[in-house]
Structure 1
């Protein structure tokens, strides 16, 4: 049972040692985890003229008897809690500290610095009775005690015997739970002769109480000390049984197995529209309906399975299952040739001892759940690139020298790719994390094409294409002169392709930085950057680069005046846009 039940013995032993042994037997046979005793000696607690002095004498149990009682309770594997009311009880607590689990602090004890400090020195779990206390008073005592001990339970409960029903004030438990970062308990002193005495602890549990303290007596009808609110053994068992039932009813935050099985059997994944073979399946292409298909994904199963690709045509309203889908294969194609005129053979220029294109490969290999290939041409002039494969860690795929689409489809054919992430070979600082962000967005959107808004450093990213969309573009449009600027064919035709344009998180938004290699000034900047960072043959994150540039702002100024023809020259931009718009 998760709820801790403490059997409060208090004075129900009537000063008889045998009664204590009997009460321990009863508690140990129940599902209560703990028992609590009150320790005091009459002449340490009160003066002879005090009205209850003689009662205290009758209730007094000697230290030697308590030695036997504590040993007996410990042998019965009970958590032993105590109320200590005077220095006599404090000495007894110190004597048995190895067997005492915790201490309840009575309001009178809290006022004694000597008693509090000695109890705190023992480092025991504490229960603080806060019935009737204002929040300011509670905060003051918590501040005082929690400096030395943070294992505290706040115990709500009206201390009057018996407690009137209207004084139980169970709503206070939720308020305490909301306002304090400690477990809340409830000490019940309701008239034990009414049925509600066995029910109120259950209501307290539903209000948020984690600990229930309830008085236990051998026989209430004799009207001995503490009989008003004390349950007899069979009543105590009934209360615990009700608490156990309450825990079952309350359940957990999790969906239970029966509920989940009913839901899984009720709603299954079906296509919300026709899905073509090779199309990426995202949630916007799925409905959940009642269907006779037992193999269709449940909501939970589809959540775990996505992203998926259809391995055949799926008609609208048909089931989506393992047989009709598979996990997409994602390939990063680093597109590279050696034909540059502004910076000849820029791809193999060393940057702090590592070829530029290999810096691209080192970073793309860090992207999770993908494979990287170097996509070059069949031309003799590009043959040297075959040697820049990180000692065989990256495959080299040779394809069409001019048509980038055909070259990417050659990669897709050899690698059985469903999705191609195109990264150009002039991006030595391409960001693995930013690529992962873009890939996740692509998969979740179910788009044909994904790119980021142009508010990031040039050279930070690539763009993403479904292989089916590349095939469709090539099959339906023969005259494609600008495949070097492939993304324009997609972003300029949103009626033809499902286009997903993503805004990168703010930490990547440095559009004024230039991290691409196309001019001598770019090479100068990269050499200064990578040598300054001490980056040899390893992947380098954008955040490492960003930190270095912020500390050394002159580095990024080296190539700040170099422009991009396809972005900065209006005539060129207009020419590309016109040619790539259908």
Structure 2
């Protein structure tokens, strides 16, 4: 399973906070923080965006920063991911989403190393199913084989819209699981960006606490030590898959 690639999905038409990926902190778009942290993994990286004219700016951002990009269906994100992986010959895929500007590169890299040691194309590895990390550090790792199987066989709209449910629901019966966990449950913490309140928190974390330079553990400890920060978006409910 060579050619490991991170695919991040990015679009401008978020329902709760349109244009969120280009909201700024310290004069920089959140998308640039997301990409910068992912690049620290040392892995190949591609942005999967849509064909909509509203996402021309995403494609332009990729071009300006010499990033791989693929444009595909807005609704069938599974097809967009499959096309991206095929176009760039990714044999092992790390799926992330661009609403996680503080995603942790070392956590991803360490998990990739575990995945490679296991060496099983039917393995699905993630820290987002049995959640112990703050929401905003989410990633999934799976082979092109599993992605292609989902692309060819998934017919439910929800499976196509959210990319991996066909895999993690084990619809095929072939999926094997490895859940990345930490000893302390910090799953109540939220550093993803989906609402104005989320953006307010991320902006403070970056501008006041330089969280873009911190690892996941330091960010979680920072939030635990400052309940006034966690209260900013404590009432936000995550959208259901």
**TM, length-normalised to structure 1:** 0.38
Structure 1 residues 526 and 372, CA, compared in 2 at 3 Å: closer, same or farther? same
Q: List aligned pairs for 1:315-334, cutoff 5 A.
A: 328-334=2-8
Distance 1:375 1:356 in 2: 16
Contact 1:450–1:465 (CA under 8 A) maintained in structure 2: yes
Partner of 2:189: 513
> Could you list the per-position Cα deviations for residues 527-578 of structure 1 after superposition, in whole angstroms to 9, with x for gaps in the alignment?
111111246xx65422342343344331122111111121xxxxxxxxx6xx
CA RMSD in angstroms comes to 2.2
Partner of 1:432: 105
Distance 1:502 1:495 in 2: 19
- Asked if 1:542 is matched to 2:216, the reply is yes
Contact 1:375–1:408 (CA under 8 A) maintained in structure 2: yes
Residue 518 of structure 1, CA deviation: 0.3
- Asked if 1:451 is matched to 2:126, the reply is yes
SS of equivalent to 1:373: strand
- Asked if 1:441 is matched to 2:122, the reply is no
Structure 1 residues 494 and 438, CA, compared in 2 at 3 Å: closer, same or farther? farther
Partner of 1:301: none
Residue 371 of structure 1, CA deviation: 0.7
Residue 434 of structure 1, CA deviation: 1.5
Residue 391 of structure 1, CA deviation: 4.1
Residue 494 of structure 1, CA deviation: 6.4
Structure 1 residues 387 and 477, CA, compared in 2 at 3 Å: closer, same or farther? closer
Partner of 2:175: 498
> Could you list the per-position Cα deviations for residues 228-258 of structure 1 after superposition, in whole angstroms to 9, with x for gaps in the alignment?
xxxxxxxxxxxxxxxxxxxxxxxxxxxxxxx
**TM, length-normalised to structure 2:** 0.88
Contact 1:438–1:502 (CA under 8 A) maintained in structure 2: no
Distance 1:483 1:356 in 2: 26
- Asked if 1:467 is matched to 2:141, the reply is no
Distance 2:171 2:80 in 1: 24
Distance 1:444 1:545 in 2: 29
Distance 2:221 2:27 in 1: 22
Question: Which of the numbers 21, 26, 35 marks the counterpart of 1:352?
Answer: 26
> Could you list the per-position Cα deviations for residues 323-352 of structure 1 after superposition, in whole angstroms to 9, with x for gaps in the alignment?
xxxxx1111011111111211111111123
Distance 2:173 2:138 in 1: 24
Contact 1:352–1:530 (CA under 8 A) maintained in structure 2: yes
Residue 393 of structure 1, CA deviation: 3.9
Distance 1:353 1:544 in 2: 23
Contact 1:431–1:542 (CA under 8 A) maintained in structure 2: yes
Contact 2:223–2:230 (CA under 8 A) maintained in structure 1: yes
Question: Which of the numbers 60, 68, 82 marks the counterpart of 1:387?
Answer: 60
- Asked if 1:527 is matched to 2:208, the reply is no
Distance 2:134 2:172 in 1: 28
Give 5+ residue unaligned stretches, structure 1: 1-308, 310-327, 567-575, 577-582
Structure 1 residues 401 and 495, CA, compared in 2 at 3 Å: closer, same or farther? closer
Contact 2:99–2:192 (CA under 8 A) maintained in structure 1: yes
Partner of 2:73: 400
Residue 468 of structure 1, CA deviation: 1.5
SS of equivalent to 2:62: coil
User: After TM superposition, where is structure 1 displaced by more than 4 Å over at least 4 residues in a row?
Assistant: none
Contact 2:154–2:166 (CA under 8 A) maintained in structure 1: no
Contact 1:419–1:466 (CA under 8 A) maintained in structure 2: yes
How many pairs does the alignment contain? 237
Distance 1:407 1:353 in 2: 30
The higher-RCO structure (CA 8 Å, 6+ apart) is 2
Question: Which of the numbers 74, 85, 88 marks the counterpart of 1:415?
Answer: 88
SS of equivalent to 1:384: helix
**Bigger radius of gyration among the two:** 1
Contact 2:82–2:151 (CA under 8 A) maintained in structure 1: no
SS of equivalent to 1:443: helix
Structure 1 residues 484 and 439, CA, compared in 2 at 3 Å: closer, same or farther? farther
